[in-house]
Amino acid sequence: HHEAELPTNSLPPGPYILRLTDGSGEQTGRFIKK
């Protein structure tokens, strides 16, 4: 489990897609910033 450090304060609200890469492969995650 990785904690992503994102400058979310500077991002506008809306849906985002994250792509996380670690040793075992690639994961995509989706989150919505209010």
For residue range 1-34, what is the model confidence (pLDDT) as tens digits? 566 676 767 878 899 888 888 888 888 888 888 8
> What is the predicted pLDDT for the residue at 31?
85
CB 33 within 8 A of CB 11: yes
Phi first, then psi, for residue 9 (nearest 5°) are: -65, -30
> What is the predicted pLDDT for the residue at 29?
87
> What is the predicted pLDDT for the residue at 4?
65
